[in-house]
Structures are given as structure tokens and as C-alpha cells.
Amino acid sequence: MLDIQVLRNDIQSVEKKLESRGFSLDVACFQALEAQRKSVQTRTQELQAQRNAASKAIGVKKGRGEDASVILAEVASIGDELKANEARLEEIQEEMQEFLLAIPNIPHESVPFGLSEADNVEVMKWGQPKHFDFEARDHVSLGEGLAGLDFETAVKLAGSRFTLMQGPVARLHRALGQFMLDLHTGEHGYVEVYVPYMVNAESLRGTGQLPKFEEDLFSVAGGYYLIPTAEVPVTNIVRGEILSLDALPMKFVAHTPCFRSEAGSYGRDMRGMIRQHQFDKVELVQIVHPEKSYEALESLLGHAEEILRRLDLPYRVVSLCTKDMGFSAAKTYDIEVWLPAQKAYREISSCSNFEAFQARRMQARFKTEGRNELVHTLNGSALAVGRTLVAILENYQLADGSVKIPEALYPYMGGLEVIPAS
């Protein structure tokens, strides 16, 4: 959510900045609402003050045993107008809230301008895409050859966009989650958290998934939603809190499944486990002082990259352009890993600084001299576990269809160094 004061004072410049992400801000609507709000609110508060004064006077008179019928008659005449004004004010404020909740974040000045994915800017590249002296197979073919990935049975169990993993491949998947958690807690200073996999609507509003993107979520009985990312429960830890200055920065890591309806992506990535309704992810979240958030974004990105380096997987980092960024982000880096079968870099992590956008929705603040200030929030995948598994299968494949285990994972694989083709 944007600061309403900024909209009041300088809506033109906000409009211009949002244009760069392809969002057209309805300035006239805002100004009309704001004008109404101002007059109705002023009048309402005036009437409330009158009523309060009269009620107080009645109390005083009655306390003395005097007659209060004159004032009572007076205050009765306020009643209807007050009620009407209060009701109207509430309507206007709700409308205003809805309006504000639907506005995306303003891109940071360092974000490249662009109107499509093609305008994303490559920031750096690490490692050499491997070439094989045989035709590289994709993870679906490899996984089935290892008796490790079974999409047909997953369809029977649940439907499309689910995976059944078995044997060493299932173990490799588990190993990856463990490896990532251990690295971030052991070397990068994150506190491991275990969180609910279902959350309420308020949490989703806090991080920006609601009210605009309900169709991307799975909702379940009882008013809960399955989390689309650990970002939601983890970031909402600080919702409604006023933190002490020395509590910052807070750094959390969580390994959770994520559930996404993938509405609107029919036909995209239907093959394999690139795009699933359920996938595991290790998520980093930082709650930081506003002056430190861009520093924090770079370090968080580095923490995610470190996983790929230790696994020796070639990748590149791109800075998303204005149009391609998510709703809540002020700046986003994607990390893309090399997939030999697709001969392309594919997204495996997304690291974003939300500045105060989520904090304002959540009312997450910290105490400074004299007043309370909104924190900045950041998060990033480090990494998407399923896609990392895909990357390992494809990058570590051997000519006979067996797959080597990255050395960093040996301790987690009980000595297994190669998953043999069956």
C-alpha cells in the first residue's frame, strides 16, 4: 500500500511512476473520493464533538439532580444527521481502502524501465553452461529413467501439475531442503522458523496477495488459504507489531510447501515439475531498517546465489524491469538457472525489496526517536526446491541416464554419489 499522504500531496508523480509498470492510476477517482472524505469526515467529527459535549452536560446535570430535558431535546436533533454522516464516512473510507489496496508499489529508481519480459536486464552470469557429448535429456525423461519421478501416478492421486517422487530422487529432494536450511542458518545468520501452511485472509492482505490475486490461491474450509509462499506467514510475524530498534534486522528462513492454483497459466510448462500446484521452497525473509533495505537486498540475493554456487549450477541474475515485477515489489532480482534440455536459463529464485509497501498494509513498525516508523520487508527464494532438483537432474546427467550427486549434498545422501538408471 502506498502512503496516502503522498497521493494527497503529489499524485501526478505517483501516476507517472506507476505508468512505467503499465498501471494507470485513476487520479480523478482518488481526488473525488478524497474531497468527499474530507467534507464528510470534518462534518462527522464536528457533530460527534457536539454530541459528546451535550452528553457530558447531561451527565453533570443528572449528577446534581437537575433537569436535563432541554439539552436532551437539543442533542436529539443531532442524532439523525450524525448517523447518516457516520454511515457515509464509513462507506467512503472503505472505498478509499479498496482503492489503495489495489495500487501496486512504486518501482525503485534503479529498476530498468520496460514493458515486457524482454526488457529485463542481465546483471551477472556465473558458471559455464555445460555441453554434453550426447543429447541432453530433460528431467522428465531422466526422472522416469531413474524410477524417481512419476507424473502418471500423481495424476491419479491428485491431477495434473503434481509430482510423485520415489527412492533416491525423493531423498535428493529432501536433501536439498536440508542443505539450504543448514547453509542459511549456519552461515548466513537466519533464524529457522516453522510456520502454518494455511493462513487467514488478513495475512494475505498484509503481503499483498489479497484482495487482488485471490484466483491464484487455494482456499480451504474454515476461511483458510493454503500458503502460495512462506513469505506470507513469515513476513506476517511482524504484522501489527512495534519493534524496538535493536530488534532489527530480523532474518528468518523457512522451508515450506507452496500451493498455487496457476490460474491463467494453462498450457504453460505442462510437462514436468517446473510449474506445479504444490512445490517446496526455502524462503528467506528480512525485516530491516528503511535505510538498510537495499543493502539487505544485495546480501539476500547473495545468500540465494550461494546455494547455486555450492551446487555448481550455472546461473545468471536479472533485474526485472518495471512491467515484469510483482505487484508489491519495489525492486526484484530473479536468479535463473541453466537447464541444458531447454538450452535456456529458467527462474529458480526471486528476491525482492518491498520497502514499506507490505509494512504499511501490516502496520509493522519500529520505535525511533519520538515516533514509530514503518519497517522495510524483503524476501527471496533460496531456493525453489523442485526447480533445483530439476536443475541437478539435467546438469548432472551422464550419458547412460544416471545422475551424479553434487558433492555438497554427499553428507545428506548417505554416501550415494550417483543415482543409477534403472
Partner RNA sequence: GGAGAGGUGGCAGAGUGGUCGAAUGUACCUGACUCGAAAUCAGGCGUAGGUGUAAGCCUACCGUGGGUUCGAAUCCCACCCUCUCCGCCA
Which chain residues interact with RNA by CB under 7 A? 4, 38, 41-42, 44-46, 48-49, 51-56, 58-60, 62-63, 72, 75-76, 79, 242, 363, 365, 371-372
Nearer to RNA, 219 or 342 (CB): 219
Q: How far apart are CA 369 and CA 390, in angstroms?
A: 50
From 141, 203, 328, 350, active-site residue: 350
Least Å distance, CB 41 to RNA, is 5
From 43, 174, 239, 275, active-site residue: 275
Q: Is 387 a catalytic residue?
A: yes
Q: What are the start-end ranges of the E strands in 270-309?
A: 278-288
Measure the CA dihedral 59/61/63/64, to 10°: 170
Least Å distance, CB 194 to RNA, is 12
Nearer to RNA, 164 or 237 (CB): 237
- The grid coordinates of residue 117 equal 519480459
Least Å distance, CB 56 to RNA, is 5
From 171, 205, 260, 360, active-site residue: 260
Preceding amide of 211 cis, omega within 30: yes
From 15, 74, 95, 347, active-site residue: 347
CB-based contact 390:163 (threshold 8 Å): no
Least Å distance, CB 368 to RNA, is 10
Nearer to RNA, 63 or 186 (CB): 63
Hey, how many other C-beta atoms are within 10 angstroms of the C-beta on 254?
24
Amino acid at position 60, single letter: V
Q: How far apart are CA 367 and CA 374, in angstroms?
A: 9
From 355, 381, 387, 394, active-site residue: 387
Q: Is 202 a catalytic residue?
A: no
Q: What is the DSSP string of 93-141?
A: HHHHHHHHHTSPPPPPTTSPP-SSGGG-EEEEEES-----SSPPPPHHH
CB-based contact 288:249 (threshold 8 Å): yes
Nearer to RNA, 72 or 101 (CB): 72
Q: How far apart are CA 19 and CA 27, in angstroms?
A: 12
Nearer to RNA, 86 or 119 (CB): 86
Phi-psi sector, 181: left (phi>0), alpha (psi -120 to 50), beta: alpha
Least Å distance, CB 275 to RNA, is 31
Q: Which residues are catalytic?
A: 260, 275, 347, 350, 387
